[in-house]
Structure 1
Amino acid sequence: MAQQPITLIGGGLVGALLALQLAQRGFAVELFEKRPDPRHTGFRGGRSINLALAERGLQALRSAGLADDVLQHAVMMRGRMVHGIDGSCGLQRYGVDDSEVIWSVSRGALNVLLLDAAEAAGVTMHFGQSLVDADFERRRIRLADDAGVVREMPVGMLIGADGAGSALRAAMNAHTPLGERIESLGHGYKELEIPPAGELPSAVLQLSGGHDQFALEPNALHIWPRGGYMCIALPNTEGSFTVTLFLPAQGAAPSFATLPDAASAAAFFSEQFPGLLPLLPRFSEDYDHNPVGTLSTLYLQRWHLDGRALLVGDAAHAIVPFHGQGMNCGFEDTVVLANLLAAAPDDSAEVFAEFQRVRQPNADAIATMALENYIEMRDSVADPHYLAKRELGALLAARIPGHYMARYRLVTFTHVPYAYALERGRAQDALLEQLLRDVPRVADIDLDAAARLFRSSLAPLPALRHG
């Protein structure tokens, strides 16, 4: 049984699951979280964008024995329900059938479930403890409690899962520069809420096509794409939807700078999201009280200080949320790291280096794909050429499944490395563009010839592991 103690900074989703994974492999884990215990005080989010749980995250939860428990509190989403400005809507499936879906989960409820499981596995937890700084030479950290009282304590193997604003990353960077680069998207987000159907007038529900306790079709991620900006809505188990408006932060209208209050925003919604506004009875309150969140991508050249400290999840590679993979990528981190440590518990320097070697190319790849997916969601989903490529891709996936799978499916429903999905997706897209350039109408394309082109141009897909 491994004996080297592990000190874990951060008890959010990735930190709690990593603590559980390590405890299950025999490590003594002590966890420090700056927020109060959400199981006693209620969840106080930072970013509270609804989470989309996909196969990679589910596989990590399966490995910890928690997947079934989590899915009991999740809502299935079959695809994107795209809402036109004229009131039209249509479903674009994510996968081929209901075996390929993603799940809307509550960040708070999931965090509580993971903390309970980690504590039951033997993890020692401390809440209301903020990391002040770290002395990596002496292997000691300083922590401040909610009253500002600072204490110093020795640490074991030090791992930071404390999110995009990681205090451990700041301490590591002060000791040895990590090559940090933060690229702002220049867009922000604001959350609103559609209440359960029972809280809305019947006339509004008739127009929205409500379903039972939901004001909209519950088994979909709803998108109102408007070119340079968009709204999305994800279902919650009790019948509400979390709505997120994504807009440029500054600049000419529309931007958050030009919509500073609910009055100006309501006029904008009446024009651009006329079918959505009646579903938001607390629009003014939500808009004026909920902050504008920022969206950035974090890149680091180094994720660790030899064997003394390591960063995982958003602390090492925060991404924008437009592929729904931030949590899934972080959960995948926990399995890779826990397995590496279990195999070499007394060689943290080698483990940390190997973890970065394996995971960094994949973190960079999903960061790229998340940025590309923002453009797809806010613009391309309503573009005729995009829809033609999507239609042709679906025909090829059915005809030559060993040689074509849409990039979104590779990312969302398989375990192939993100870096492979990015590279394969670009190669496939180039061939789709070539076919549609020669014959713009999908109905006129010779599918046998298209299949031959793919087979001759690309290696077969690897064995695709579904859950």
Structure 2
Amino acid sequence: MKGEVAIVGAGLTGCLLACFLARRGHQVTLYERRDDPRGRTPERGRSINLALSERGLDALRRIGLDGVVLAGALPMRGRMVHPVHGTPDFQPYSVRGDRAINSIGRGALNDALLEAATAQPGVRAVFGHRLTGLDPETGEMVFQTGDGEVKASAPVVLGADGAGSAVRAELKRYGTLTEDVDFLEHGYKELTVPPRDGDFALDPGALHIWPRGTSMVIALPNPDRSFTCTLFWPGEGPGGFASLDDPGAVERHFRAEYPDLVPLVPDLAADYLRNPVGVLGTVRCASWHAAGRVGLVGDAAHAIVPFYGQGANCAFEDVVVLDRCLDDTGGDWSAALPLFEARRREDTEAIAQMALANFIEMRDKVASPLFLLGRRAEHALERALPGRYVSRYELVSFSTVPYARVRRRVRRQHQAVAALAAAATLALGALAVRAASPGKRARSGRSA
């Protein structure tokens, strides 16, 4: 057996990472602050369904879990955009309409990955352990449990404990890390659209979106024929969470802004007032590693807002990249951890920026006739230039092209299209001048 690795966080990233490290022959201990989540009802109003796409599936495929996960997922081939009044409009994600992102509950995916991880030889999971201390020089850890303080140590400690990472906090306390957390003015709250007469109340083949300028609502389907409905609203101001604090205000706001949702959510006001408001933000820090033995992975290193559906996909891709770094360094963690950060930082910054930009697109632009015209033009280019012109969405969601390379490629494509448009305009102008010239010469001859 290779050396022991401690992974703090038995969420999605930690469990997947445990599977990859077990395959390499490591002994792995997963430390999780929560109780064992398997078989438990997810925390009310905190699930945020995931949109699993190619980057996440690629990571799962490498350890043979893609089929297991997709068995509990629902494919969504496009957005269904709901106006305040009128008929919803379906916008396919891919040019041929055949590619899909996959809706899956975070809890269901976590359970599947935790089962897979603990089934591996040499992997154990310890629950109810909240990290309260870490010495990066020695790998000594302190946990608070229901029975008091517990100490442990490991040659390698990896923080996969999410945006509020305790490992990151310990590295910051030791002075080996600086961080910047940029919170949005928007938060999120969840509601449930239950089945209607035993069937889906909305089309299950789409991600439903109600764009309203400065805010939006989305809904993703679940295998039990319900939808998880997430409100992304400002915290303050008219239409913000703080201003809608009584049943009457809630009902009036939904009837004015989301009239087709009202009949789909029984006890709308009660559920709204009962469920908590979550925060959204982007985490940036440097560096992601310390003392050659401690490292951060996934949201612990670079949390992003969820508006490109890439949070889990990006974190899963982290695991693949870290695994390659271990290959390239002969399993030397002191070399692999800085190499991982060097290879991954530009890509994680690129998707962080694209996710923020996509929030504006989703809430402001998807219902715009100009936006729809642009999408049709982009799909026409993809059909005319297969493989040469590919949209940003397809490159992000349906490929494993590095995020930073996606951004550069899309920029070049847009520049090329703009140059062609300018050249075409000049050519048409020249043709118009040429067409007008013989008439001018004829008139000049007659007047002479």
TM-score by length of structure 1 reads 0.87
Report matched runs for 1:282-431 at 5 Å.
Answer: 282-344=267-329, 346-431=331-416
For residues 113-132 of structure 1, give each alpha carbon's deviation from its aligned partner in whole angstroms, at most 9, with x where no partner exists: 10111011121110111101
Match of 2:230 in 1: 244
Match of 1:124 in 2: 124
| Structure 1 residues 438 and 287: alpha-carbon distance in aligned structure 2, compared to 1, 3 A threshold | farther
Contact 2:234 2:241 (C-alpha < 8 Å) held by counterparts: yes
Aligned partner letter, 2:275: N
Contact 1:142 1:153 (C-alpha < 8 Å) held by counterparts: yes
Contact 2:137 2:291 (C-alpha < 8 Å) held by counterparts: no
1:326 CA drift (Å): 0.2
Contact 1:82 1:91 (C-alpha < 8 Å) held by counterparts: yes
How far apart in 1 are the matches of 2:102 and 2:385?
Answer: 28
Query: What secondary structure, in the 3-state scheme, does the structure 2 residue paired with 1:39 have?
Result: coil
How far apart in 2 are the matches of 1:241 and 1:438?
Answer: 48
How far apart in 1 are the matches of 2:271 and 2:224?
Answer: 19
| Structure 1 residues 73 and 98: alpha-carbon distance in aligned structure 2, compared to 1, 3 A threshold | farther
Point out where structure 2 has 5 or more consecutive residues left out of the alignment.
429-448
| Structure 1 residues 369 and 31: alpha-carbon distance in aligned structure 2, compared to 1, 3 A threshold | same
Aligned partner letter, 2:61: R
Aligned partner letter, 1:58: L
1:341 CA drift (Å): 2.2
Aligned partner letter, 2:304: I
1:349 CA drift (Å): 1.5
| Structure 1 residues 342 and 121: alpha-carbon distance in aligned structure 2, compared to 1, 3 A threshold | farther
Matched, 1:140 2:114: no
1:42 CA drift (Å): 4.1
Match of 1:221 in 2: 207
Q: State the structure with more CA Rg.
A: 2
Aligned partner letter, 1:195: P
Contact 1:38 1:44 (C-alpha < 8 Å) held by counterparts: no
Query: Which of 263, 276, 299 does residue 278 from structure 1 map onto?
Result: 263
How far apart in 1 are the matches of 2:398 and 2:36?
Answer: 33
Aligned partner letter, 1:385: L
Matched, 1:17 2:11: no
Contact 2:46 2:190 (C-alpha < 8 Å) held by counterparts: no
Match of 1:79 in 2: 78
1:430 CA drift (Å): 4.6
1:427 CA drift (Å): 3.2
Match of 1:195 in 2: 194
1:290 CA drift (Å): 0.7
Aligned partner letter, 1:128: G
How far apart in 1 are the matches of 2:269 and 2:77?
Answer: 31
Contact 2:282 2:352 (C-alpha < 8 Å) held by counterparts: yes
Identity, in percent, stands at: 46
1:198 CA drift (Å): 2.1
Query: What secondary structure, in the 3-state scheme, does the structure 2 residue paired with 1:234 have?
Result: strand
Contact 2:282 2:305 (C-alpha < 8 Å) held by counterparts: yes
Query: What secondary structure, in the 3-state scheme, does the structure 1 residue paired with 2:178 have?
Result: coil
1:16 CA drift (Å): 0.5
1:345 CA drift (Å): 5.2
Report matched runs for 1:56-205 at 5 Å.
Answer: 56-97=55-96, 99-122=98-121, 123-147=123-147, 149-198=148-197
| Structure 1 residues 299 and 98: alpha-carbon distance in aligned structure 2, compared to 1, 3 A threshold | same
Aligned partner letter, 1:372: A
Deviates more, 1:15-24 or 1:277-286: 277-286
| Structure 1 residues 165 and 35: alpha-carbon distance in aligned structure 2, compared to 1, 3 A threshold | same
For residues 302-354 of structure 1, give each alpha carbon's deviation from its aligned partner in whole angstroms, at most 9, with x where no partner exists: 11114121000000000000000000000011111123224535521210011
How far apart in 2 are the matches of 1:284 and 1:42?
Answer: 22
Query: What secondary structure, in the 3-state scheme, does the structure 2 residue paired with 1:223 have?
Result: strand
How far apart in 2 are the matches of 1:177 and 1:14?
Answer: 23
Aligned partner letter, 2:132: V
Contact 2:135 2:141 (C-alpha < 8 Å) held by counterparts: yes
How far apart in 2 are the matches of 1:377 and 1:283?
Answer: 24
How far apart in 1 are the matches of 2:272 and 2:421?
Answer: 43
| Structure 1 residues 42 and 254: alpha-carbon distance in aligned structure 2, compared to 1, 3 A threshold | closer
Contact 1:307 1:347 (C-alpha < 8 Å) held by counterparts: no
How far apart in 1 are the matches of 2:51 and 2:154?
Answer: 34
Contact 1:75 1:103 (C-alpha < 8 Å) held by counterparts: yes
Contact 2:45 2:275 (C-alpha < 8 Å) held by counterparts: no
1:144 CA drift (Å): 1.1
| Structure 1 residues 129 and 345: alpha-carbon distance in aligned structure 2, compared to 1, 3 A threshold | farther
Contact 1:389 1:433 (C-alpha < 8 Å) held by counterparts: no
Query: What secondary structure, in the 3-state scheme, does the structure 1 residue paired with 2:233 have?
Result: strand
Aligned partner letter, 1:226: R
Contact 1:87 1:275 (C-alpha < 8 Å) held by counterparts: no
1:87 CA drift (Å): 3.0
| Structure 1 residues 46 and 383: alpha-carbon distance in aligned structure 2, compared to 1, 3 A threshold | closer
Match of 1:450 in 2: none
TM-score by length of structure 2 reads 0.91
How far apart in 2 are the matches of 1:433 and 1:41?
Answer: 54
Match of 2:248 in 1: 263
Match of 1:49 in 2: 48
1:136 CA drift (Å): 2.0
Aligned partner letter, 2:175: T
Query: What secondary structure, in the 3-state scheme, does the structure 1 residue paired with 2:151 have?
Result: strand
